[in-house]
Structure 1
Amino acid sequence: MLILNSGGTFNKRYNPLNGELEIPYDNEVIERILTSTDFDYDLAGVVYKDSLDMDMNDRKMLASIIMESKDDTFILVHGTDSMNITAEFLSEIFDDRKIIITGAMHPFEIDNVEASLNLGIAIGFAKANPKNGVYICMNGLIEPCKNIVKNRALGKFELVK
C-alpha cells in the first residue's frame, strides 16, 4: 500500500509568525497518525497544496506516480475542495487499482479526530481488499467516487441520490 500526501486542509498547521494556516512540505501529520498502527506502508509527499490550487499538471503527476508504482492499492490524502475532480480524473485512467481518496474539513492541528478517523477508515477499507476503483472516504462514508460529493452548504460529504 502506498499513501500519497498531496496536502489539503488535513495537513495545515498554524504559522505563529504570520497568523496563517499553511501546508508544510512534510508528512508529519500522517506520520503522527500512523504511529498508532502496526502495518507496512510506503508514504510519499507529492504536491503539498491546497486543493483549490491544484491543476491538471498536479493530477497528471499523481497519476504518473500511481502508474509507475509496484503497488496496486493507494490512499491519497487530498484537499476536499477539488477531491471530486481528482477522483474523476483518476477513475478515467485506472480500472486495475484501488485508490481511496480522503482528507479533512478541519486541520489535524485543530481537530485531530476527523483527520485520524478518515485516514483510519481509508486504511481499513484498503486492507479489506475492495474491488478495483476510485473511492472517496469522508465523514464516515466510503463509496465509489461517483456516489459521494461535498455538500458545500452543509460543509460535509454525502451520498448522491
Structure 2
Amino acid sequence: MAAKRLNYCAPGANRNNVMKLHILAVGGTIDKVYFDALSDYKIGPPAAAEILQRINVNFDYDVSQVISKDSLDMTDADREEILAAVQAHPAKHVIITHGTDTMVDTGQVLKQALGKTVVIMGAMQPAIMKLTDADFNLGVAVAAVQALPEGVYLCMSGRIYDVDRVAKNRSESQFQDL
C-alpha cells in the first residue's frame, strides 16, 4: 500500500533552521476509534497529526500512514513495508506510531535503517480517550528522536529503551529492561 502523506509545518517556523521530523503511522491502539456505540474499535486516521497540531509544535513534520493494523495482525511483509517507507523518506529523524504488542519485533527489522534515528512509540489507551498516554508518549518520543544518536529505540511511559534490551510485560501493561 502506498503511504498516504499529510504535510504539516509549525506556523512561522524558520525552515532553514528547524528539525524536520517524519512520523510514520502504522496503526495500533494509539489510532483506534469507535465508529458508533455498537462497534468495536477500528484503526482511524493518524492520531499524531491531531496531537501535534493541537499543541502547536515549533518544528517541521510530515505524517504518513503506510499500514493501518493492530500490531498483533502485522506480518513480516508488513514490517518490510515499514522498513522500506523509513528508508525511502529523506528525514533523518523518524517516529513510528505503532501498536504495543509487537513494536519490539518491528524495531528489530528497522535496525536495517542505517543513518537514521528511529523512535517507535504507542499508547496503552487510544488517543481519543481522556485518560490516554498517547500525548505524553509522543512528546517524549519527539524529545528522544532529537537527542539520541542514530539507531532504533522504543519510547513508552516516559522511558527510552534500546530495542535490543526491552520487552513488554503484559500483566503490568508496561515495558521493562531485559
TM-score (normalizing by structure 1): 0.91
Show structure 1 runs of 5+ residues with no match. Answer: none
Q: Which residue, 58, 75, 86 being the options, matches 2:95?
A: 75
Amino acid at match of 2:149: K
Amino acid at match of 2:97: V
For residues 45-102 of structure 1, the C-alpha deviation after alignment (integer angstroms, 9 at most, x for no partner) is: 11011001111111111111111111111100000011111001111x1332111000
What does residue 127 of structure 2 align with?
108
Contact 2:86–2:113 under 8 Å retained in 1? no
Show structure 2 runs of 5+ residues with no match. Answer: 1-20
What does residue 175 of structure 2 align with?
157
- SS of the residue corresponding to residue 146 of structure 1 reads coil
- SS of the residue corresponding to residue 149 of structure 1 reads strand
CA shift, 1:145, in A, is 0.7
| 1: CA distance, partners of 2:163 / 2:169 | 14
Q: Which has the larger radius of gyration?
A: 2
What does residue 88 of structure 1 align with?
108
- The ranges of structure 1 where at least 4 consecutive aligned residues each deviate by more than 2 angstroms after the TM superposition are none
What does residue 123 of structure 1 align with?
142
Identity level (%): 34
How many equivalent residue pairs?
156
- SS of the residue corresponding to residue 119 of structure 1 reads helix
| 2: CA distance, partners of 1:32 / 1:137 | 19
CA shift, 1:17, in A, is 5.3
Closer/same/farther in 2, CA of residues 111 and 81 from structure 1, 3 Å limit: farther
Q: Which residue, 165, 171, 177 being the options, matches 1:147?
A: 165
- SS of the residue corresponding to residue 154 of structure 1 reads coil
What does residue 49 of structure 1 align with?
69
CA shift, 1:9, in A, is 0.3
CA shift, 1:113, in A, is 4.1
Q: Which residue, 86, 95, 99 being the options, matches 2:118?
A: 99
Amino acid at match of 1:114: D
CA shift, 1:111, in A, is 3.8
Q: Which residue, 38, 47, 52 being the options, matches 2:58?
A: 38
| 2: CA distance, partners of 1:96 / 1:38 | 24
Amino acid at match of 1:154: E
TM-score (normalizing by structure 2): 0.83
Bigger helix fraction? 1
For residues 8-55 of structure 1, the C-alpha deviation after alignment (integer angstroms, 9 at most, x for no partner) is: 00010112153211102x22x212210212211111011011001111
| CA RMSD after TM alignment | 1.3
Contact 2:126–2:132 under 8 Å retained in 1? no
Closer/same/farther in 2, CA of residues 112 and 7 from structure 1, 3 Å limit: farther
